């Protein structure tokens, strides 16, 4: 039996900075050894639509749903069954089942073996869902599936799943519920060693599911002599010693969701805890004093936002010399409370924006109260361009606290900014899905 794992892209293009899709390394480790597997990542290569296989397994995000359905429809026309998993099919299984034979809802560890056996026997069920959240013990990804792929030289490793918070625009809590799980520290250390990478991105949505266990992980990372990056909630800045330990263990950059400079907006987003313990400036100083570069993210379109909000956020990001910053329209996604709210209020501009042929990447998806939808789209694009001017990149680079603290930090800073500057114009307004017909360009064994 052959299984083909497919990671669809958002649109027709190839990427020079794609990172390894960790979910497929996990599925590979759970697949019986007598089954042949192949991985096709559309960010790197064309999908061989005439590939000979017995089952196609796809991970689907909301932004890749349109393209995923196009690919799935093609394989199913050839009589090849398709199974989909990930956030989007979990929240919209009925939609996904219009294009797939089976959907895996939630985590796959407890049920992937059953999916494989049912496919082997020609008896796929429509829905697979574990009755309980699987333990993360002994979950060791098999990265041999990435052999020969030209991914970015940064290894992806997961420590925990879930988040302590429940922000209105985020679907993590809807996916994981109140379940907060961490892998054994020794497993994470071994996973990092096996990855063979000297720079690791810890992919946890919020690294601090349990602060004391995370502290133990940092202590275990010190002797590995690696560099690593992560996503964190800003509340950890109140523990200065913990942030210093992060840096000592190899952390050189962290992504923080600031979201807004307006407290009423933060309340609307259910993220007012952002400034509960410290001001933004005080929290940022803790990270900068430790030598950790910050990637700040902001969203616009809250009820208190106006046309002036964009420039204020850009000025804030420039003043704090962020490694990177992103300025995005607030986007309701399936599973998040914000989506249900906007739908109930009749403010959505598209019934399903992720499938609408008129929707472009970076477009507003709902009617904000303080500006027009077109102003929201244009304001975010303008903010990204202002932050990423050549002059801004140079001025932020020569920051000896963090961005230019070491030659390695400076190299990471420069590469990340040049990449970000290019991506701003490459992505903006791009229509989701493919403009190419689902043809069979060449034969693949």
Nearest to 109 by CA among 129, 93, 89, 127: 129
pLDDT at 441: 41
| CATH fold group of domain 2-129 | Rossmann fold (3.40.50)
Paired strand residues for 433: 11
- CA 72 from centroid of its chain's CA atoms: 22
pLDDT in tens, the chain (445 residues): 999 999 999 988 888 789 999 999 999 999 999 999 999 999 999 999 999 999 999 999 999 999 999 999 999 999 999 999 999 999 999 999 999 999 999 999 999 999 999 999 999 999 999 888 888 888 899 999 999 999 999 999 999 988 877 788 888 877 887 778 899 999 999 999 999 999 999 999 888 888 999 999 999 999 999 999 999 999 999 999 999 999 999 999 999 999 999 999 999 998 988 888 899 999 999 999 999 999 999 999 999 999 999 999 999 999 999 999 999 999 999 999 999 999 999 999 999 999 999 999 999 999 999 999 999 999 999 999 999 999 999 999 999 999 999 999 999 999 999 999 999 989 999 999 987 655 444 333 3
Residue 308 exposed, middle or buried by CB count within 10 Å (0-12, 13-18, 19+): exposed
Two structure tokens written together for 95 = 């939609």
Q: Which residue intervals of 31-181 are DSSP H helices?
A: 65-77, 87-91, 93-96, 112-120, 172-176
How far is Cα 182 from Cα 229, in angstroms, rounded to an integer? 18
Q: What is the structure's pLDDT at 354?
A: 97
* CA-closest candidate to residue 294, choices 265, 329, 319: 319
| Integer CA distances (angstroms), 220 to 160, 225, 248, 249, in order | 16, 10, 11, 8
230 φ/ψ angles, rounded to the nearest 5 degrees: -165, 175
Instruction: Give the DSSP H or E segment for 232.
Output: strand 227-232
pLDDT value for 445: 33
C-alpha distances out from residue 403 to 150, 227, 243, 272, 424, Å: 27, 14, 17, 28, 21
Element (H, E) at 27: helix 22-30
- Residue 437, judged by CB atoms within 10 A of its CB (0-12, 13-18, 19+), counts as exposed
Which letter does DSSP use for residue 230 in this model? E
Confirm if 430 and 360 have CB atoms less than 8 A apart.
Answer: yes
Which residues are 256's β-sheet partners? 232, 296
The CB density around residue 276, as the number of other CB atoms within 10 Å, is 10
What contacts 78, CB < 8 A, 6 or more positions away? none
User: Which pairing describes strands 55-59 and 36-41: parallel, antiparallel, or unpaired?
Assistant: unpaired
Q: CA–CA separation, 139 vs 158, rounded Å?
A: 10
Strands 160-161 and 181-182: antiparallel
Please tell me the distance from the alpha carbon of residue 319 to that of residue 315, in angstroms, as a whole number.
6
**Three-state secondary structure call for residue 334:** coil
Burial class (CB in 10 A: 0-12, 13-18, 19+), 7: buried
Find the helix or strand (DSSP H, E) in which 182 lies. strand 181-182
Q: Does domain 153-427 have CATH number 3.80.30.20?
A: yes
| Nearest Cα to Cα of residue 292 among 384, 212, 228 | 228
Q: Where are the domains of the chain?
A: 2-129, 153-427
Q: Which residues contact 74 (CB under 8 A, 6 or more apart)?
A: 49, 438
Nearest to 188 by CA among 409, 22, 408, 5: 22
Q: What DSSP state is assigned to residue 3?
A: E
């Amino acid at each position: 039996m052959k299984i083909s794992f497919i990671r669809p892209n958002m649109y027709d293009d190839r990427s020079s900075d794609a990172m390894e899709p960790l979910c497929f390394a996990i599925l590979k480790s759970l697949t019986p050894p007598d089954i042949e597997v192949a991985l096709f990542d559309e960010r790197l290569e064309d999908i061989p639509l005439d590939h000979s296989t017995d089952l196609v397994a796809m991970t689907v995000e909301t932004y890749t749903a349109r393209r995923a359905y196009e690919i799935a429809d093609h394989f199913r026309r050839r009589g090849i069954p398709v199974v989909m998993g990930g956030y989007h099919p979990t929240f919209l299984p009925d939609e996904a089942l219009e294009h797939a034979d089976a959907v895996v809802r939630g985590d796959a560890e407890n049920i992937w073996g059953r999916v494989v056996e049912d496919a082997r026997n020609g008896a796929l069920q429509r829905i697979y869902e574990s009755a309980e959240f699987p333990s993360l013990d002994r979950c060791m990804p098999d990265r041999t599936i990435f052999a020969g792929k030209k991914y970015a030289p940064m290894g992806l490793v997961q420590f925990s799943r879930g988040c302590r918070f429940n922000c209105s625009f985020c679907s993590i809590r809807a996916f994981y519920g109140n379940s907060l799980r961490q892998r054994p520290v020794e497993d994470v250390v071994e996973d990092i060693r096996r990855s063979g990478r000297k720079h690791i991105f810890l992919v946890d949505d919020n690294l601090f599911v349990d602060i004391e266990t995370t502290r133990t992980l940092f202590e275990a990372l010190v002797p590995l002599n690696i560099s690593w990056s992560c996503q964190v909630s800003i509340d950890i800045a109140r523990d200065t010693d913990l942030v210093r330990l992060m840096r000592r263990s190899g952390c050189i950059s962290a992504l923080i969701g600031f979201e807004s400079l307006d407290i009423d907006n933060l309340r609307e987003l259910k993220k007012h805890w952002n400034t509960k313990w410290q001001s933004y400036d005080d929290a940022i100083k803790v990270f900068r004093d430790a030598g950790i570069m910050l990637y700040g993210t902001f969203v616009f379109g809250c009820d208190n936002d106006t046309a002036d909000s964009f420039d204020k956020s850009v000025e804030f990001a420039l003043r704090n010399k962020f490694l990177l910053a992103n300025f995005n329209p607030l986007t309701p996604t399936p599973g998040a409370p914000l989506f249900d709210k906007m739908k109930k209020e009749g403010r959505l501009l598209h019934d399903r924006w992720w499938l609408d042929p008129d929707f472009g990447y970076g477009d507003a998806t709902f009617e904000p109260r303080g500006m027009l939808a077109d102003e929201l789209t244009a304001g975010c694009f303008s903010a990204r361009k202002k932050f990423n001017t050549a002059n801004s990149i140079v001025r932020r680079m020569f920051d000896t606290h963090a961005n230019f603290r070491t030659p390695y930090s400076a190299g990471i800073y420069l590469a990340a900014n040049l990449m970000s500057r290019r991506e701003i114009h490459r992505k903006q307004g791009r229509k989701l899905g493919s403009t190419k017909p689902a043809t069979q360009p060449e034969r693949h064994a």
